Structure 1
Amino acid sequence: MSSHLLDLATARRSGRPRGITSVCSAHPTIIRAALRRGSVTNQPVLIEATCNQVNHLGGYTGMTPADFVGMVELIALEEGLDRNQLIFGGDHLGPNPWRKEPSEVALAKARDMVMAYVRAGFSKIHLDTSMGCAGEPAALDDDTIAARAADLCRVAEAAAEAAGLPQPLYVLGTEVPVPGGADHVLETVEPTSPDAARKTISIHRETFLAAGLEDAFERVLAFVVQPGVEFGSENVVAYNPAKAADLAAVLNDHEGLVFEAHSTDYQSETALAALVRDGFPILKVGPGVTFAYREALYALDMIASELVSSYGARPLAAAMERLMLDHPVDWQGHYHGGEDSLRLQRHYSYSDRIRYYWNRPEAASAVAKLLNALNGRTIPQPLMHQFFPGLAMAGNTADGIILASVDHVLASYDRAVHQASSQI
């Protein structure tokens, strides 16, 4: 299925652009929804893990790359998805998880992480070495970034060869929206300047060739740039094709390349299709799908409160509030304002920092209590209309409703990546 990625640039040049959704989540329900959709559409499914989320030391999920692949493959088997439809991507692979350590230490760990990703079967590798480590500037110069990326690329190439696996495809470049969304309201976001994009491509090409990585650079399928999309706690900056036109035109001079768009969460279907049409066909989504998951759980929490007298008054929401107050590290520093504002952001922010808590035992127990309360119960249509007006006919069991809510987001992406050519 890697050929599907390599064909994205050809499709754009032929005037029939298409894209692919990059589902960036380690949550089993999100992954199940994506794989179930793939089993129905028979299209490739790109599942990505990030360096903080999954790494050779476990990441914040406790999973190594091999663990992650094993989890996804098991769900694929349960959903009847052909293993050959799966593409695994590693996102922001570099020293970021260890950037507070000296560069030699952080980069050594990054090498081990890249090796683990490749050996586990990840075939799409985004190398991100843009961040400074201890004693370095927060943002590094282009030459240093490219040199460190080439170093990690060499490790990936050797790991694939030693494991007898196909050589990976690469994504380079680092000018991305703030991971998880901005922490303040933004009225507009400027796209990457065309000159900056050209410089990034040129320096990486020169550095890779000087390092003897010509073959690897031929497998670079995309560069990450900022197309002008972003979201914060309460607002979304929509894609503006006119503002990104000069940036998109850079691709006309680089046959075989496309751009990768991060933080496309909450964009309209029209905007997503325009991104694909304009040369940003790899559309990353993460918080947008976990936001839909949380929405469904909270609506079911209210339904259970109405339907099951012994359930209580929104115990899931109350449990999550206690959990986030007891363990604030994953939202503090990202949310701002008074106590009322912070409380709302903890639960309803587009940045969806609550997603970091669902795998904790307290959250898992509260979700299990909700599902057990609704197990075997048919949710009356009037309650469906009250809390799920857009999904009233999508099914009325709790598990089905959760998956349908996530799929509603994925379906929008699916239509956008396959219908972009109709906008030309």
Structure 2
Amino acid sequence: MTNATERLRQLPALHADGKRAGITSVCSAHPLVIEAALAHGKAWNADVLIEATCNQVNQDGGYTGMTPADFRRFVEVIAAKVGFPLERLILGGDHLGPNPWKDRPAEEAMAKAEAMIAAFAAAGFTKIHLDTSMGCAGETVALDDRTTAERAARLAAVCEANLAGTKPVYVVGTEVPVPGGALEALDHLQVTQPEAALATVEVHREAFTARGLDDAFSRAIAAVVQPGVEFGNADVVVYRPEAARALSATLGQMPQFVFEAHSTDYQPREALKALVDDGFSILKVGPGLTFALREALYGLDAIAAVLVPDVDRTPLPAVMEEVMLAAPGNWKKYYPGTPQQQAVERHFSFSDRIRYYWPEPAAGKAVDDLLAALGDRSIPLTLVSQYLGRLYVKVAAGAVTPTARALLLGSVEAVLDDYAFATDAD
């Protein structure tokens, strides 16, 4: 194993020994987010875990147009630019299973999932989340535990047969919405029942053993559970340790495991720290990072209107509105409500569906034009305070250079500071 993957594998033992240790899972394909994550890891002398979902990246290209091998090259080019050591990089595959093809019959969807996981393994991804919980054509929406586990073990066998030399660690189970975000109301969010977490691990153990995959299962380090955290378009459910106490206590019965917490975006830093203390050692964040990036882009757009007014440059929010209205598929079903409510959510929702539109040519040109307009000029602290308040303290202290590009990266790193506070060992 690489040093970084070996350290990841040690998380359960560290928790069992009463030590606080965790890792942030950066779930994004945005180049500025990845650059910020790697620069942040370099500054903190920390491992960086970057994950791609089955919908983002797969053998057919996913919505990013990248295969797993493409994604690895994409990240490694940015790492070289930043000067981040590759031995501290962990690449992960998230929700790997039939989800992108779940409208097809199960065998056809699973064959596609097998090809996908073979591609992730061959590309050297060393953290694999197996998620086969979704029903395919003609099946129930959610499958029973045993069927889910048997399909997960089937994919693990393919993964093990296609390794690029480094044996991966595995994450099993799912207690979260399918990739793309929550659609339901958050007022009935339920913490995973302790017996359900124990059953998930045991049924996966049995399924792996039935396929002769005991060695692979020995590298299973985490189960995905719902600790009571989630976010919607305008709401955040903050972690309450007392509500998850019984769930956290089950780790004492399965010292091989910690828990993986999805949708930790927008949690206060003390809540993130409490999650790690309670054994939710892998904290996944994605939309919260691109949300911070969008905040900074819109703030810089307002600053440009003050510093370098240009009647020929269309404001960035107006460009993004046009781009999103022209292709509503990535936001419309997620943003119910009146046209006015939808207009607000298109730009400012916590679920940050706008993140799907930054690769569009018109959006990319608008961002390039904005950054070109501001150039390398030093932005006055007063305007940082007015439009980029999240960064005022860092800029005032000299920790972030007040230029446009540095402020964009700094906006993402400011979020990652909260995660570093939570996951850094005592």
TM-score by length of 1: 0.96
Tell me the amino acid that sits aligned with residue 190 of structure 1: Q
1:153 is matched with: 156
| Aligned residue identity for 2:140 | P
C-alpha contact 2:390 2:411 (8 A) present in aligned 1? no
Q: Helix, strand or coil: the match of 1:243?
A: helix
Residue 260 (1) aligns with residue 276 (2):
no
Larger mean Cα displacement after TM superposition, 204-213 or 24-33: 204-213
The counterpart of 1:417, out of the listed 390, 402, 423, is: 423
Query: Is the Cα contact below 8 Å between 2:53 and 2:179 reproduced in 1?
Result: no
Q: Is the 8 A contact 2:376 2:404 kept in 1?
A: no
Quote the residue 1:103 is aligned against.
106
- 2:233 paired residue number: 233
User: Is residue 175 from structure 1 mapped to residue 188 from structure 2 by the alignment?
Assistant: no
Counterparts of 2:382 and 2:20, CA distance in 1? 42
1:377 aligns with 377
Query: In the alignment, what sits opposite 2:348?
Result: 348
| Matches of 2:176 and 2:309, distance apart in 1 | 48
- Is the contact made by 1:177 and 1:229 (CA closer than 8 Å) also made in structure 2? no
The one-character-per-residue Cα deviations of 1:162-190 (angstroms, maximum 9, x if unpaired) are x4x12211000011245444335423521
Report the equivalent of 2:410. 404
Q: What letter is aligned with 1:10?
A: A
Question: Equivalents in 1 of 2:241, 2:253: separation in Å?
Answer: 19
Q: CA deviation at 1:344?
A: 0.2
Distance change (3 Å), C-alpha of 1:297 and 1:349: same
CA positional deviation for 1:352: 0.2
Does the 8 A contact of 1:58 with 1:64 survive in 2? yes
Contact 2:11 2:21 in 1 (8 A): yes
User: Following TM superposition, by how much is the alpha carbon of 1:390 offset from its aligned partner in structure 2, in angstroms?
Assistant: 3.4
Change (3 A) 1:17 1:326: same
Aligned to 1:199: 199
In structure 2, give the amino acid aligned to 1:400.
Answer: A
**Deviation (angstroms), 1:313:** 7.3
5+ residue gaps, structure 1: none
Q: 1:311 and 1:408, CA in 2 relative to 1: closer, same or farther beyond 3 A?
A: farther
Q: Which residue of 1 aligns with 2:97?
A: 94
Residue 50 of structure 1, aligned match among 50, 53, 60: 53
Summarize the alignment of residues 29-68 of structure 1 with structure 2, pairs less than 5 Å apart: 29-68=32-71
2:133 pairs with 1:130? yes
In the TM superposition, what whole-angstrom CA distance separates every residue of 1:103-158 from its partner, at most 9, and x where no partner exists?
11111110010010011110000010001111111111111101100100000000
Corresponding residue SS for 1:333:
helix
The one-letter amino acid paired with 1:109 is K
Q: Distance in 1 between matches of 2:89 and 2:389?
A: 33
Preserved contact between residue 127 and residue 168 of structure 2 (Cα < 8 Å) = yes
Instruction: Report deviation, 1:60.
Output: 0.2
Q: For residues 357-402 of structure 1, what are the alpha-carbon distances to aligned partners after superposition, in whole Å with 9 as ceiling and x for unaligned?
A: 1111111111111111111322222211211233231321110000
Structure 1 moving runs of 4+ over 3 Å: 177-181, 311-314
Contact 1:102/1:135 (<8 A) preserved: yes
CA distance in 1, matches of 2:266, 2:376: 33
Q: Which runs of 5 or more structure 2 residues have no equivalent in the other structure?
A: none
Distance (Å, rounded) in 2 between the aligned partners of 1:177 and 1:107: 20
Cα distance, 1:233 vs structure 2 = 0.4
Q: For 1:311 and 1:149, how far apart are their aligned partners in 2?
A: 56
Q: What number of residue pairs does the alignment pair up?
A: 417
Counterparts of 1:208-227 in structure 2, within 5 Å, are: 208-227=208-227
Change (3 A) 1:309 1:21: same
Q: Give, in whole Å, the separation in 2 of the partners of 1:273 and 1:8.
A: 15
Equivalent residue, structure 1, for 2:247 = 247
Match of 2:301 in 1: 301
CA–CA distance in structure 2, aligned partners of residues 176 and 354 of structure 1: 21
Q: Name the CA distance, whole Å, in 2 between partners of 1:172 and 1:267.
A: 24
Identity of aligned residues (%): 55
Which deviations, in whole Å up to 9, do the C-alpha atoms of 1:293-345 show, x marking residues without a partner?
00000111111112212155762110100111010000011001101100000
Instruction: State the alpha-carbon separation in 2 of the partners of residues 378 and 41 from structure 1.
Output: 26
Which stretch of structure 1 is more off in the superposition, 44-53 or 176-185?
A: 176-185
Q: Distance in 2 between matches of 1:376 and 1:249?
A: 52
Q: Counterpart amino acid of 2:22?
A: G
Contact 1:179 1:263 in 2 (8 A): no
Structure 2 Cα separation of the partners of residues 342 and 159 of structure 1? 45
Residue type of the alignment partner of 2:132: T
SS of the residue corresponding to residue 321 of structure 1 reads helix
> Aligned partners of 1:181, 1:76: CA distance in 2, in Å?
28
Mapped partners of 1:68, 1:237: distance in 2? 32
Whole-Å Cα distance in 2 between the matches of residues 88 and 81 of structure 1?
14
User: Per the alignment, in what secondary structure is the counterpart of residue 121 of structure 1?
Assistant: coil
1:77 aligned partner: 80
> TM-score by structure 2 length?
0.95
How far 1:242 sits from its partner (Å)?
A: 0.6
Give the AA of the match of 1:415: F
Q: Out of 103, 121, 125, which is 2:124 matched to? A: 121
- Structure 2 counterpart of 1:59, which letter? G
Matched residues in 2 for 1:44 and 1:177: separation? 27
Contact between 1:301 and 1:314, CA under 8 Å: does it hold in 2? no
CA distance in 2, matches of 1:320, 1:285: 23
1:217 aligned counterpart, secondary structure: helix
CA distance in structure 2 between the partners assigned to 1:128 and 1:180 by the alignment: 14
